[in-house]
Amino acid sequence: MWFMALKHIFSRKSQTLLTFLAIVLGSGGYVVFSGMQLGFQEYMVDRLIERSGHINISTRNEFITASSVREFFFRGSAVRWLNAPSGRRSYNKLVSASAWYRKLRESPEVSAYAPQISKDAIVEHRGFVQNINLVGIDPELQTKVTTMASDITEGSLSSINSGSSLVFMGERLMQFLGVRVNDMVNVSTSGGSVVPMKIVGSFNTGDRRSDERVIYSSIATAQNVSGSQGEITSIVVKIHDFNRAAEIATSWSRLTSDRVESWDQLNRDRLSMMGTQDMVRNITTTAFIVIVAFGIYNILNMVVSHKMRDIAILRSIGYTEGDTTFLFLIQGVLIGFVGALTGLAVGYLICLYIETVNIPVGRGHMMISWNSAIYLKAFALVTAASLIASYFPARTAGKLSPIDIIRGTI
């Protein structure tokens, strides 16, 4: 039976080749398309999780509304507003950073945490001015909760603790200001003070906004420059299982007036966009597989039509309906199996090449996902499509009787 199936396959070389190429295109296209899109998503999630921490504890903002003011000033009174109150109340620091430190140290879910102070400022050098965010960090703790150390391009992050008024600056901001490492810049805050600071290192995150708008210093330096001694504006937390970040952040938020948000809560819009991308990817790859299935179906239908006399001979010498069905079914499955494996290999080679293509964002080259689930899913889908598409022509061939075939050919 297998020998006869192979003989049928190689006896119609052009049809077999077209079917084989369609299957290779389907499985290879699935691997390439999924690898590129999932590679980008993995890169984005890595940035969201590992570079920003799993949970962020920050100062709260309260929006002023008519109801909040009425409850405070006019409780129980009827008030008619000509212009409804608006705006917000912002807080400059965490309510109790020391209480958070104690809680985080005692929490079994927490693996590390790092305090920060963030203040708006202006950096200037020889007439070039840029609005920036001055972020004070503890280098040792910061590298435990984020992958910031991997973004350093020059200098040692720990050097900002070696003295006062030392900063790390993004390469894009340095280019804009026309400065290099060891140069001096002037940093001024909303309080009106202007402090000369020395650049002791540089970083490149691949995020244009961060590289142009953020400079890092020690916590003490940021507090001194902004006149905010003892203040902490946020705490970045890393937990053992980042998938539980939303659950833990929600439970913590019930116990404090500070804002507590997990990485996925902070990035709902981006994650929603990724969900849309997944839907588009699934629709596109399904279209690939459907095209492959129709190709196999049409070609095997033609084969059954051309092999009527052969089918009549097989049935007349004792082949049952099941034997005939299996004979034609196995042809589609064999082509699908070999084509799927070949497509995976072709897709893998194309992905290897695509990953070498340089791009001006992210890691500097195309991001490809090498998740084995992509290849397993591609193989399973293409093989299943081949099986389903082969079944109907094979079933038609199995139901043909010698008498019907002879009558149809007279």
pLDDT in tens, 28-44: 888 998 888 888 877 77
When pLDDT is averaged across residues 178-198 and rounded to a whole number, the result is: 89
**Which residues are registered as beta bridge partners of 236?**
56, 114
Q: Give me the pLDDT at residue 134, please.
A: 93
Q: Give me the pLDDT at residue 309, please.
A: 62
pTM: 0.66
Which residue in 42, 81, 62, 23 sits closest to 333, CA to CA? 23
When pLDDT is averaged across residues 369-398 and rounded to a whole number, the result is: 81
* Residue 162 three-state SS: coil
Which helix (H) or strand (E) is 338 found in, with range? helix 321-354
pLDDT band at 138 (very low <50, low <70, confident <90, very high): very high
Point out the least confidently predicted range of 62-71, 88-97, 208-217, 224-233.
62-71
Q: What is the distance between the alpha carbons of residues 330 and 19, in angstroms, rounded to a whole number?
A: 14
Q: What is the distance between the alpha carbons of residues 43 and 50, in angstroms, rounded to a whole number?
A: 10
Rg (C-alpha) for the chain, rounded Å, is 33
Q: What is the distance between the alpha carbons of residues 356 and 359, in angstroms, rounded to a whole number?
A: 9
Number of H helices, E strands in the chain: 15, 12
Q: Give me the pLDDT at residue 236, please.
A: 93
pLDDT band at 238 (very low <50, low <70, confident <90, very high): very high
Q: Give me the pLDDT at residue 170, please.
A: 93
The 8-class DSSP code of residue 244 comes to G
* Residue 95 three-state SS: coil
Point out the least confidently predicted range of 45-59, 167-181, 225-239, 335-349.
45-59
Q: E strands along 179-288, which residues?
A: 184-189, 194-203, 214-218, 234-239, 259-262
Q: Give me the pLDDT at residue 410, please.
A: 39
**Are 188 and 208 spatial neighbours (Cβ–Cβ below 8 Å)?**
no
The burial of 171, by beta-carbon neighbours within 10 Å (0-12 exposed, 13-18 middle, 19 or more buried), is given as: middle
Phi, psi of 359 (to 5 degrees): -135, 155
Q: Which residues contact 117 (CB under 8 A, 6 or more apart)?
A: 135, 136, 219, 222, 223, 226, 228, 231, 232, 233, 234
Which residue in 394, 383, 401 sits closest to 301, CA to CA? 394
Each residue's pLDDT tens digit, 248-302:
999 998 888 888 988 888 777 777 777 777 788 788 777 777 777 777 777 666 6
Q: Give me the pLDDT at residue 350, please.
A: 93
Helices (H), 74-231: 97-106, 139-145, 171-177, 208-213, 219-226
Q: What is the distance between the alpha carbons of residues 231 and 36, in angstroms, rounded to a whole number?
A: 44
% of the chain surpassing 90 pLDDT? 28
When pLDDT is averaged across residues 204-232 and rounded to a whole number, the result is: 88
More confident residue, 177 or 287: 177
More confident residue, 196 or 291: 196
More confident residue, 350 or 358: 350
pLDDT band at 331 (very low <50, low <70, confident <90, very high): confident
Q: What is the distance between the alpha carbons of residues 334 and 306, in angstroms, rounded to a whole number?
A: 20
The owner of tokens 């192979």 is 6
